[in-house]
Structure 1
Amino acid sequence: MTDTSVNAAESLDGADSLAAFPAKFVRSPEVRAYLDGNSLGRPTIASAARLAEFVDEQWGGRLIRGWDESWYDLPLTLGDRLGAATLGAAPGQTFIGDSTTVVLYKLIRAALTARPDRSEIVIDTGNFPTDRYIVEGIAAELGKTLRWIDPPIEGGVTANAVQAALTENTALVVISHVAYRSGYLADMPGITAIAHDAGALVLWDLCHSAGVVDTQLDEWGVDLAAGCTYKYLNGGPGSPAFGYVRSEHIESMTQPIQGWMGSSSPFEMGPGYAPHHGIRRFISGTPSIVGSLAMQDMLGLIEQAGIPAIRAKSVAMTEYALELVDELLTPLGVTVSSPRNADERGSHVTIDHESFAEVNAALWKQGIIPDFRRPNGIRLGLSPLSTTYAEVQLGIEAIHAQLVK
């Protein structure tokens, strides 16, 4: 029998090798348990100071001189840092800029230009809506055919499913590394290799894995990847996304949004566009410098803790959450819609019950913040550096209390 007591959770927090990290985040007294780090990460205390300093000293003090001093290169220097800390990516392949939607659009179009004689795109029905909508629009625009994989609600895209969907006409496979609803962790190296054997490219959406799952893009032969920075990278609401393009593809791919910051000589203001020779060619317009500030402090914490330790705590916390769910909620009709096998699970757990829309709303009023996903799921998003075991225990206990009222 699982010990569901507050004392047990406090003991787990006391033994946590990363126990010093939650105190490094802004913690409002109005929020008793924050279980939605997979949607929006808490701000770090260091970021609050950085933002104030930026207004006074950088924006206010340096003004336009800031572009020459650091801002112009920030999308690339920060991209390299993010690649090294979280993606397993060598320098010169990762950039920061635009929203996830725009980065996905640019990379999908660029991939298709590299496979001009192929007419099909493989994607799954369980992928995040943005990914599906963008692919649908591009397919209509370019006359491509979509081949859909239909994963189970509690699972995700498997290597076997990809193998079955591939044909000699497949140009690109678009998959989320961690499924946004179920938390299913796809086999990135296996699926990438299968697609390559068929002559196709693969684009991985890393929104729910960057910063929390050990990822080795270079080692695993990944072609392209995109992801947001406001979940486990704690960059703040709407912070700019990142894109990764494998070095061997950079010069051969053409992205469709040809802005001045991606040209070979941005400040020459020439009459025609010539792409930069490196990863800068995937940048379009003027980057968001303010939006790039907070993620720098979170990267510092990730670098300090290390992805292996972060992943180990993620596994331990999701295992603990499942034990509490089995003990307290399963007898009340709650079902688990996430993989039981930790090797197939990201850092969130989804549970389902017909009353969860009302339950989630009641929890928010109590300062307990998971999130709701239709038709009847609550996601428990556990960010290892900022979430405590006590928050997990309190959140699941509160769900139990609502169900027995």
Structure 2
Amino acid sequence: MALGQSCDVSDEAVAELASRVESFVRDVVAPYERDPRRDAHGGPTEELVEELRDRARAAGVLTPHVRPDGVHLTQRQTAIVLRKTGLSPLGPVACNTAAPDEGNMYLLGKVGSPAIQERFLKPLLEGRARSAFFMTEPAEDNGAGSDPSMMRTTCQPEGEGWVISGRKAFITGAEGAKIGIVMAKSADGACMFLVDLPNPAVRIERVINTIDSALPGGHAVVSIEDLRVPADQMLGRSGEGFRYAQVRLAPARLSHCMRWLGACVRANEIATDYACRRWAFGKPLIDHEGVGFMAAENLIDLKQAELMIDWCADVLDHGSLGIAESSMAKVAVSEALMRIADRCVQMMGGAGVSGDTIVEQVFREIRAFRIYDGPTEVHKWSLAKKISRDWKGSQP
């Protein structure tokens, strides 16, 4: 079931798949945007998630970026498909391309043992389970955040397995997840473990109220107390956790960009339609330069974001880890999408800050995206360090 890159999926087949995904998201998923089945934090309830996934399964667009034989589309092809799932905030959840599941599936397909893939990857691919990635830790504990080397959660060998203890924060989808990937620090360094959830040793302290509300389960603070995990549920060997995190890192950053580009395409469609229909001062809003220029700037930013994603996808498809390239793409795309979402709200005035369309939600989600998977400033700092290293390495 290993998820390897593939060249035998034709571009024509990918285009046809993307068209079916787009039709499903626009025609079937979008009407659910007004569905009242939401949790206390605004995310879709488990009942709504299951209903959407049942409909995606029936339409043949569940986990569309992975073929039934387990072959993963290339990153460039994945970009085409995931952009379509992002046309609704509920689209990635419905089609099983949402974070953190999409990144976790990619990781397990790349480095999971056959036993791990059968037990943990298969239910994710089939949309029968959600997962959570336990890495970030509470700021009050001075734990790992943008700097993962500050990890305080520990793991100790005991008998035939390991015992894990610590606290985690902003764990997306922890509430309701059936599978967890837990990062902890041993004497050798960082480690990754697969765990079944729920587990009495993994306790949700609270689900944080955050600006975004697209994903089921929200973002939780979690206590882990003497969690016992069999040795064969460790990914690789003790101390290799950060290496495996690198495998997941760049594709996960990029897939965020893919999905939210789709959301901004839809938001721009809504704002443009509004500007062309709404009259003020004797003519449509679009004919006023103040509004028309914002619409034009959105087209420019949308295209630049698309090209940046495709460039980084090509880098990954050629075998590079793409750490620096994905940092550049994440900064450029998240900042461009923020400008687009902000203009969409501004073009629509009062309607833009209301819940009558998804524009207001897209604005909130994109604002959060500028922080999630690394704030813009951290990526710039990392790139500046690379520039310095490269310069020093070039000196005689």
TM range (shorter): under 0.3
**Structure in which a larger fraction of residues adopt helix:** 2
User: Normalising by structure 1, what TM-score?
Assistant: 0.26
Q: TM-score, normalised by structure 2?
A: 0.27
